[in-house]
Amino acid sequence: MINSANLDLLQAQRITEKSSRGSDYVFKVRQDATKPAIKQLIESVYGVKVKSVNVLNRKGKHKARRNGYTKACKIAYVKLESGQELNLAE
C-alpha cells in the first residue's frame, strides 16, 4: 500500500529523445525519492510492471552572469517490462 506522503514523489515528466523511445520514461522527482519508492509508486498508480529505475542526481550549474546557480534536481529513468505502456494523458 502506498501512503499519501509518497504521492508527490513524481514532480514532472520530462520529454526527451530517450523518453520518446519504446518503454523508457523520464521523470523529475523529489530529492529524497528512492528507487524502490519510485518503482512502487509507478506500479501502484499506473498499474504497470517496472523493469528498472535509474536515478540521476543533477547538480546546479554555475552561471557567472547571474552570480548564482541553477537549481539542482533529481531525475528518474524508468524502464517498463516489454508490452507495458504508461497512459500519461489521464
| Nearest CA-CA partner of 79 in 19, 8, 17 | 19
pLDDT tens per residue across span 6-25: 677 787 778 777 777 777 88
| Nearest CA-CA partner of 79 in 35, 33, 29 | 35
pLDDT tens per residue across span 35-65: 999 999 888 888 889 999 999 998 888 888 7
Query: What is the fold, at CATH topology level, of the domain defined by 4-80?
Result: Alpha-Beta Plaits (3.30.70)
Q: What mean pLDDT do residues 69-82 have? A: 89
Which residues face 63 on adjacent strands? Answer: 68
Instruction: Please tell me the predicted confidence (pLDDT) of residue 74.
Output: 93
Q: What does the domain layout of the chain look like in residue ranges?
A: 4-80
Q: Are 54 and 3 in contact (CB under 8 A)?
A: no
Q: Tell me the pTM.
A: 0.80
